[in-house]
Amino acid sequence: MSANSSTDRRRPQQSRASAWAGRIIAGLVIVFFVLFFVVPIIWLLIAPTKDGRELLLSQPFAVGGWEQFAENWDSLVSYQGGLIWTWLGNSAFYSLAALVLTLVISVPAGYAMALTEFRGRRALLSLTLVVMLIPSTALVLPIFLELSAVKLIGSPLSVILPFSFFPFGVYLTYIYFSTTISRDLLNAARIDGAGEFRVFAQVAMPLATPVVALVGFFSFVANWNNYFLPYVMVPGRKAPVQVGLAEMLSNVPQFNPTNVASTMISLPTLALATIVSVAPVLFIFLFSQRFLVSGMTAGGTKE
């Protein structure tokens, strides 16, 4: 690392100025994008404090009143006798059950494809990619037929099982294992006499916390937000909250004008329902961020 003395002298001034310029630009970029992502959310958070009329007529960021919020909340929880809670419970059940199953089948598979050699490895990888590229519209009917043939339509399994097929997660795991764990590490364990399963469980898994958290989280969110599959498989009281929201939408005059009837939901109540439906996902993200992004800085990979 021989450094030219003249460039050394030049560098400190240059780098200080450009470093500051760089920081300002970076700061501006961050501020711009924070606003970009957050402004509509702020609007959404303020919406339930107004009534339908105010929502249309007042300033977007003007806050309504607590009384109005209480009214909207009341409207939401009394809809169909507290159906919102049933929906949330269903969502939680389906997403969590699928999450567990997803992790059980995906993490070992990703490990296997990244760090072991077996016949069909490449085939699995390519097939996974191909399947991920197939428009889901094409898969709905065959999956419906399969589940109907085993009489599962309408039962929770009809959503949990398809949810657990999460090729995106398998690929994440594959990429993670193939970029962060080296074979030398595993071979060291093998030389020490560890069986293959031990190598996986005691060497690879402890280092896999980030990807397990990532796959678990994304699986949970994808399942929580999935609309069409539960819409077709588990309608009515077994529906998750996304399907429920669409049902509530059909009672808002703005969206369903030609059939305005006895049950009317106002837009602010719908906004509140939307917030309630996304809150669990955000809470989980908030508390699991640490695990999601921690890298594997503990060496063991180099030299």
Partner 1 sequence: MSSQHRRQPTRTTRLLAATASLAVAGLLAGCAGGSTEVNSDYGFVTAEQDPSSTITVWADASRQPSVEAFEAANPDIKVELVVDDGSAGGSATFQTKISLADQAGEGWPDVVFSTQNNDASWASKETNGVQAFAAPLNKGFLEDDFLDGFTPGALDPLTVDGTIYGLRNDLAPVLFWYNKPLLDEFGYTVPTTWEEYQELSDKLAAKHPGYFLGSVGDSFAGTYVYYWSGEAPIFTLDGDTFSSDVTDPNSVKVTELLDHMVDNGTLIQDSVFSGEFVANADKLVGIPGPAWYAGALFQNTESVNAQPGQWGTSAPLYWDGEDKVTGNVGGGTWFASSHSKNLDAVKTFMEFITSDEAAAGSGGLPAYASAADAWLAKQAESGFFDGDFEGSVSTAASSVWDGWGFPNFSVETAYAKVIVPALAAGKSIADVAEEWQTEMENEAQVAGYKVG
Partner 2 sequence: MSNNTELAAAPVGVRQPAGARRRTRKPDSAQARIGAIFSSGYALFLLVFGIIPAVYAVYLAFTKNNAFAGVDNFIKIFSDFRFLPAVGHVAIYVGVWVFSLIILVVLLAVIVHAVRVRWLSTSVRFLFYIPGALAGASSVMLWLFVLDPSVSPVSFLLHALGNDSFVDTVRVDQLPFVLAIIAFWTGAGGWIVIMYGALNNISTDVMEAARIDGAGPVATAWYIQIPLLRKWISYMSIMSLAAGTQLFVEPRVLSQASKGVVPADYSLNQLAFLYAFKQSDFNGSAAISLVLLVVALGLSAFFVFRGGLFERE
Window 196-215: residues binding partner 2 (CB under 8 A): 196-197, 200, 210, 214
Q: Is residue 9 a contact point for partner 2 (CB under 8 A)?
A: no
Q: Is the dihedral of CA 161, 163, 168, 174 positive or negative?
A: negative
**Quick check: 218 and 288 in contact, CB under 8 A?**
no
Helix 83-115, helix 267-293: angle, nearest 10: 30
Among 125, 153, 157, 205, binds partner 2 (CB under 8 A): 125
Of residues 102 and 158, the one with the C-beta less far from partner 1: 158
- What would you measure as the largest C-alpha separation in the chain, in angstroms? 83
Residue 100: partners with Cβ closer than 8 Å, 6 or more residues away:
none
Residue 187: how many other CB atoms lie within 10 Å: 11
Site string for partner 2, 134-163 (x = CB under 8 A): xxxxxxxxxx-xx--------------xx-
d(CA 172, CA 106) in angstroms, rounded, equals 9
Site string for partner 1, 85-124 (x = CB under 8 A): ---------------------------------xxx----
By C-alpha distance, which of 28, 65, 31, 34 is closest to 48?
A: 65
Please tell me the count of residues contacting partner 1 according to CB under 8 A: 41
With CB under 5 to 8 Å by kind, the binding choice for 242 among partner 1, partner 2, none is: partner 2
Three-class DSSP category at 9: helix
Displacement of CA 115 from its chain's centroid (Å): 26
Instruction: Give residues 53-92 in contact with partner 1 (rule: CB under 8 A).
Output: 53, 56-57, 79-80
Among 96, 105, 194, 249, binds partner 1 (CB under 8 A): 249
With CB under 5 to 8 Å by kind, the binding choice for 175 among partner 1, partner 2, none is: partner 2
Instruction: Give residues 141-170 in contact with partner 1 (rule: CB under 8 A).
Output: 141, 144-146, 148-150, 153
Q: Is residue 259 a contact point for partner 1 (CB under 8 A)?
A: yes
Candidates 24-32, 176-184, 247-255, 284-292 — which segment interacts with partner 1 by CB under 8 A?
A: 247-255
By C-alpha distance, which of 228, 270, 224, 232 is closest to 248?
A: 270
With CB under 5 to 8 Å by kind, the binding choice for 300 among partner 1, partner 2, none is: none
Among 6, 13, 66, 191, binds partner 2 (CB under 8 A): 191
Residue 67: how many other CB atoms lie within 10 Å: 10
Q: Is residue 264 a contact point for partner 2 (CB under 8 A)?
A: no
Least distance in angstroms from the C-beta of 3 to partner 1:
55
d(CA 143, CA 149) in angstroms, rounded, equals 10
Residue 170: partners with Cβ closer than 8 Å, 6 or more residues away:
106, 109, 110, 113, 128
Among 1, 134, 191, 261, binds partner 1 (CB under 8 A): 261
Instruction: Give the footprint of partner 1 on this chain (CB under 8 A).
Output: 51-53, 56-57, 79-80, 118-120, 140-141, 144-146, 148-150, 153, 231-232, 235-237, 246-247, 249-251, 253-263, 266
